[in-house]
Amino acid sequence: MKRILIVTGQSGSGKSSALQVLEDLGYYCIDNLPLALLPEIVAKLDSENNLEQLALGVDVRSTRADLQEFDLVFEQLQKHGSVDVIFLTTQDQQLIARFSSSRRPHPLSNRFNSLTECIEQEKTLLIPIQFRATIQIDTTDKSVHDLKHMLLSRLGQTDNLIVILQSFGYKHGIPLDADYIFDMRHLPNPHWELELRKYSGLDEPVQNFLEASSQTIEMFQDVYKFLEKWLPAFAEGHRHYITISIGCTGGQHRSVYIVDRLKKALEAKWSIQVLHREMKHWS
């Protein structure tokens, strides 16, 4: 995993909106997780998925003890990639106005008598996380559109199209998040070569086997030419990301090989993210 973002801050300051922006930018987002569970969940995601960008929403509903141990959690997460903490703040009067207009209770409303007291206590509880913040944004006078552009700027990203290349196995189900699906089950199957079964499409023996087939070369070229022609049109349509899913029977050999080749062919012009959905099933 290359990048982990922890998104937190005062309740009502725009954490949910920030996570929606990050999701549009191709981050895999999880919200409202207890702090103590983050290292275990991230370790599992890192071992079973080829995720490159992960965003974790955290708020004051974690226990006081967990919040005070944030430094330990932060250090454990660093084992899996670079970690940034995005901390959102808002002036008190604006927070009060937002809670009043939305009529939603503050997360600490069952522990304190007034909204003002909840806001003050939350600031204190979040201090251990705020000290670790690498990006702090005051959303007092900012719209969701403003927040998006600030996040893009602070994260060093642009609003360009992100191409997500996903390999999968049909026997595990068709991905529901795909914009386009290409079927590779007609290509020669390395699974039936016993010495190749233990490898994946990322390994040279499988690549050599597949590249010996003219069908493989022609199929790759057809998919590549389709994407080369139409990705600019998708980008001009102001899409944030597009998911191209490549499937074979088990999701270990043919689909993984094609995804790897597409990544190498497209990454010079496009922002590419790769997900091998069935990695946890590989031999």
Helical residues (DSSP H) of the chain, grouped into ranges = 15-24, 38-48, 64-68, 70-77, 92-102, 115-125, 127-130, 144-154, 204-211, 214-236, 254-266
Has 12 been labeled as part of a binding site?
A: yes
Residue with token string 């609003």: 159
What is the Cα–Cα distance from 67 to 164, expressed in whole angstroms? Answer: 34
Has 167 been labeled as part of a binding site?
A: no
204: Cα separation from own chain's centroid: 28
Has 11 been labeled as part of a binding site?
A: yes
Has 10 been labeled as part of a binding site?
A: yes
What is the Cα–Cα distance from 248 to 244, expressed in whole angstroms? Answer: 14
Has 82 been labeled as part of a binding site?
A: no
> CB-side exposure of 132: number of CA atoms within 13 Å?
22
Has 156 been labeled as part of a binding site?
A: no
Give 254's contacts (C-beta < 8 A, 6+ positions apart): 184, 185, 187, 189, 190, 201, 210, 216, 248
Compute CA distances 228 → 164, 216, 220, 243, 268, whole Å.
Answer: 14, 18, 12, 14, 12
What is the Cα–Cα distance from 144 to 13, expressed in whole angstroms? Answer: 11
Helix/strand/coil percentages in the chain, nearest 5? 45, 20, 35
27 touches 45 (CB < 8 A) = no
What is the Cα–Cα distance from 250 to 148, expressed in whole angstroms? Answer: 38
Has 83 been labeled as part of a binding site?
A: no
What is the Cα–Cα distance from 208 to 195, expressed in whole angstroms? Answer: 13
Has 62 been labeled as part of a binding site?
A: yes
Has 60 been labeled as part of a binding site?
A: yes
Has 283 been labeled as part of a binding site?
A: no
What is the Cα–Cα distance from 86 to 22, expressed in whole angstroms? Answer: 11
Has 47 been labeled as part of a binding site?
A: no
Question: What residues are paired with 169 via a beta bridge?
Answer: 248
Extract the annotated binding site for GTP. 59-62
Extract the annotated binding site. 9-16, 59-62
Extract the annotated binding site for ATP. 9-16
